[in-house]
């Protein structure tokens, strides 16, 4: 059964998914890269992002691997695709990931500004969706052909899908880091009322991995 | 060197230290007891609260033990002492813990309503302080005779002491539980700006233990 998943999404102890002042130099916001120490060290990340064969193979890598299993499509908020805000000045920006992005499936980018699809090497095509989160999910499900759809982020995109009751499972990695301000994942969201509970918790030295699953339909 | 510490303080994945609707039946708020599963199972808690000799002896108990080491005094918010709000109707309420509370040292209770000291069995005396958090800390330090002062909670009391820059170390236990609403420990507090960083992270099956320490004086 196909599901809609968030995976390998890192937050700080105080609940932030990115630090303050995100820009081209600090795409994760100030201090935000520290959230991802667990992921950057894994064999999976090293292989998919750098073509390297080193990296950790323990709990952290186990979750990184799970995040990529059975994926048929991704959905990204526009800020995860790039630092450009407002209308596209041109079509030069092609994402943070170079010519062969680590997706290898269709990726639906939420934006208010239309742009033609962008075909990359390795099977990744970026589709720009201006008709809202539900339409993006419908398109992603169709493209996924029965496989899972992964909501990549950022926090605001995930919060929109959570509020709409459209995410089946979230794997979060809580990093032993304090950020103090930035994009909060949970603030103002009542996760139990939305139907979520924590069904798994495993820690490495670099992060605590938790899996939240929607056990029932929202009651309020 | 004497320090001011928070220890064994449990929060949910979404950052709440207690659930909503705290009252006499639900002193931790609805769902709040689930935060404390790790602690309730420990040998230390079983011994101190129930005179039992069973209980876990692993990571969770290690932190429970640390929380009681070298303590000379405690500070509690009034809501941790009892469910009564406003003026004391009488002096019948003597805390949640029976005649022999698990403190065995002087305990300073923050309140707006004066009350004479309450001497309990086993070395615990409750002192009711109406002159604010700084004065309570001064009294607790004097009473502690060079040992540590533990700020027991609740969240609001800890937040007041954090804002005032008066806590040296916090041991928090993040339980794999979502509460959705209630008393948030971190909301609106910028912990790095207050000088705190995470210096330790160890998990059991029931909680992730983190230690936050004030590494430097606040910069803003």
Complex confidence, ipTM: 0.87
A203 and chain B in contact, CB less than 8 A = yes
Asked if B208 and A174 come within 8 Å (Cβ–Cβ), the reply is yes
pLDDT in tens, B178-211: 999 999 999 999 999 999 999 999 999 999 999 9
* Tens place of pLDDT per residue across chain A (220 aa): 689 999 999 999 999 998 888 877 887 888 888 999 999 999 999 998 888 999 999 999 999 999 999 999 999 999 999 988 899 999 999 999 999 999 999 999 999 999 999 999 999 999 999 999 999 999 999 999 999 999 999 999 999 999 999 999 999 999 999 999 999 999 999 999 999 999 999 999 999 999 999 985 544 4
Question: Which has the minimum average pLDDT: A129-143, B11-25, B147-161?
Answer: B11-25
Q: How many CB atoms lie within 10 A of CB A37?
A: 17
Return the sign of the alpha-carbon dihedral for residues B177, B180, B185, B187. Answer: positive
Residue A23 corresponds to which tokens in the numbers above? 């820009």
Which residues does chain B have within 8 Å of residue A189's beta carbon, measured at their own beta carbons?
Answer: 14, 180
- Determine the angle formed by the axes of helices B43-50 and B59-68, rounding to 10 degrees: 50
Residue A25 corresponds to which tokens in the numbers above? 């130099």
* Averaged confidence pLDDT in chain B: 93
Contacts of A16 (CB under 8 A, 6+ apart): A32, A155, A179, A180, A181, A182, A183, A184, A185
Alpha helices in A26-85 (DSSP H): 37-40, 43-50, 59-68, 78-81
Helix (H) or strand (E) holding A74: strand A71-77
Nearest to B169 by CA among B188, B191, B184: B191
| Contact indicator for A11, A172 with CB cutoff of 8 Å | yes
How is the beta sheet containing A148-153 ordered, strand by strand? Answer: A118-119, A125-129, A106-110, A71-77, A148-153, A4-11, A169-174, A208-214, A196-203
pLDDT in tens, B109-130: 999 999 999 999 999 999 999 9
pLDDT of residue A220: 43
Of A178, A187, A202, the CB nearest to B191: A178
B168, pLDDT greater than 60: yes
Asked if A177 and B191 come within 8 Å (Cβ–Cβ), the reply is no
B134, pLDDT greater than 90: yes
- Looking only at the bridges linking them, the beta strands covering A183-184 and A16-18 are antiparallel
Of A178, A189, A198, the CB nearest to B192: A178
B13 and chain A in contact, CB less than 8 A = yes
Instruction: Report helix, strand or coil for B129.
Output: strand
A196 and chain B in contact, CB less than 8 A = yes
Rounded to an integer, what distance in angstroms lies between the CA atom of residue B86 and that of residue B79?
Answer: 11
More confident residue, B51 or A175: A175
B14 and chain A in contact, CB less than 8 A = yes
| Contact indicator for B11, B17 with CB cutoff of 8 Å | yes
Integer angstrom CA distances of residue A198 from A47, A68, A116, B16, B103: 30, 21, 39, 15, 33
Contacts of A152 (CB under 8 A, 6+ apart): A6, A74, A75, A76, A77, A80, A107
Position of tokens 């070298």? B70
Residue A182 corresponds to which tokens in the numbers above? 């930035």
Helix (H) or strand (E) holding A153: strand A148-153
pLDDT of residue B216: 58
B219, pLDDT greater than 60: no
Rounded to an integer, what distance in angstroms lies between the CA atom of residue A125 and that of residue B218?
Answer: 47
């Amino acid at each position: 059964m196909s599901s809609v998943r968030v995976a390998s999404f890192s937050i700080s102890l105080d609940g932030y998914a990115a630090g303050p002042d995100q820009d081209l130099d600090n795409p994760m916001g100030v201090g935000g890269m520290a959230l991802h120490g667990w992921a950057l060290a894994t064999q999976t990340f090293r292989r998919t992002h750098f073509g390297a064969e080193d990296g950790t193979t323990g709990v952290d890598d186990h979750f990184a691997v799970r995040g990529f299993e059975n994926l048929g499509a991704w959905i990204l908020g526009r800020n995860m695709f790039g630092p450009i805000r407002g209308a596209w000045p041109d079509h030069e920006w092609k994402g943070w990931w170079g010519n062969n992005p680590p997706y290898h499936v269709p990726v639906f980018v939420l934006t208010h500004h239309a742009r033609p699809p962008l075909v990359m090497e390795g099977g990744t095509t970026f589709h720009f969706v201006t008709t809202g989160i539900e339409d993006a999910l419908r398109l992603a499900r169709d493209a996924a052909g029965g496989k899972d759809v992964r909501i990549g982020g950022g926090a605001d995109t995930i919060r929109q899908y959570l509020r709409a009751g459209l995410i089946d499972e979230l794997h979060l990695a809580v990093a032993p880091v304090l950020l103090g301000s930035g994009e909060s994942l949970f603030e103002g969201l009542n996760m139990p009322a939305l139907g979520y509970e924590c069904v798994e918790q495993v820690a490495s030295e670099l992060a605590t991995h938790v899996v939240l699953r929607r056990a029932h339909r929202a009651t309020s």
